Copies of this chain bind each other. A is one copy, B any other.
Amino acid sequence: MKVVVFGMGLIGGSVAKDLKIRNFATEIIGVGRTDATNQKVLDLKLVDRILPRDEAIEIADLIVLTVPVNALIDELLFVLDSIKSHQVVTDMGSTKGAIVDAVQNHKNRSRYVASHPMAGTENSGPTAAINNLFDHKVCIICDKEKSDSDAVELVEKMYEALKMNLKYMDAHQHDIHAAYVSHISHISSFVLAATVLEKEKDESAILEMAGGGFESTVRLAKSSPEMWTPIFIQNKTNILEVLDTYIEKMYSFRNYINKGKYDELNQFMKDANQIKKILK
């Protein structure tokens, strides 16, 4: 099985590592954006070789796109234009609606399987690639009925090699759920980091106080702007909806503190505590 991975960052690099070591891929071919990245990928031995994208597609059994979601549509269209009927392509983008819409009428649409492995760290780039990144995490496959069954099976097998738990969803539903749970978490964390950096000028105080919950809450603010800017813009409608609820609730919280409304503040937090019933 020859696997071609487009994008050689945290996700692409980690996919390459595990698919090779777990014998899913006999050969891993990388397609990176720049010569510098490609050289680093070779130095790190993340792939067997680097090829230009057209040569890589030519020999691939499975093509995995791990580029940021703004570049994804163009890359996917290029791949779909080039592949033959036995080849399969999947992507790992964090948004799905715009991508499936962009290829819905393509003659090779059925060779594409839309997917989103919910895994990552706050680090980015090829040096951030690690083994076992995907193990026991959730992967969402979208609109599987629009893909050929052999294509879905191959992609499922790949995710099984990555030890992921597979779930199935409509692509646009995926984007709503992603906005309401994951994307709003990233935004609250980016805003937290920006706020603390502006208000707390004493870096040693940040370090001393970090154990009081800041460190874990701000972790996502270390995430890559190159990855997240296009996600926020592509999933704008769903994100604005949840963001406005967040801002409204933040105002209530502020008001309760400002007016010394002990009972309302206490009740707000008791309601928030209900998250314990879902996440043990």
Set of chain B residues within 8 Å of A158, measured between Cβ atoms:
none
Task: For the complex, give the distance between the alpha carbons of A100 and B239 in Å.
Answer: 44
* Chain A at the B interface: SS class: helix
Closest CB-CB distance, A80 to chain B, in whole Å?
Answer: 26
The answer on a CB contact under 8 Å between A118 and B208 is yes
Of B191, B232, B242, the residue contacting A195 (CB under 8 A) is B242
| Of A213, A251, A266, most B-chain CB atoms within 10 Å | A213
The answer on a CB contact under 8 Å between B193 and A266 is no
Task: For the complex, give the distance between the alpha carbons of A209 and B119 in Å.
Answer: 10
**Residue A187 interfacial (CB < 8 Å):** yes
Set of chain B residues within 8 Å of A262, measured between Cβ atoms:
229-230, 233
A105-121 vs B: 1/0 string, CB under 8 Å? 00000000000001110
Closest CB-CB distance, A166 to chain B, in whole Å?
Answer: 10
Please report the total number of A residues contacting B with Cβ < 8 Å: 91
**Residue A14 interfacial (CB < 8 Å):** no
**Residue A33 interfacial (CB < 8 Å):** no
Set of chain B residues within 8 Å of A221, measured between Cβ atoms:
269, 272-273, 275
The answer on a CB contact under 8 Å between B275 and A260 is no
A256-275 vs B: 1/0 string, CB under 8 Å? 01101010011111111111
Of B181, B233, B273, the residue contacting A225 (CB under 8 A) is B273
Extra contacts, 18 of them, besides A120-B213, A190-B253, A194-B272 (Cβ < 8 A), are A178-B212, A181-B196, A181-B212, A182-B212, A182-B213, A182-B214, A184-B196, A185-B214, A185-B218, A188-B191, A189-B213, A191-B249, A191-B250, A196-B275, A197-B272, A222-B276, A229-B265, A243-B250
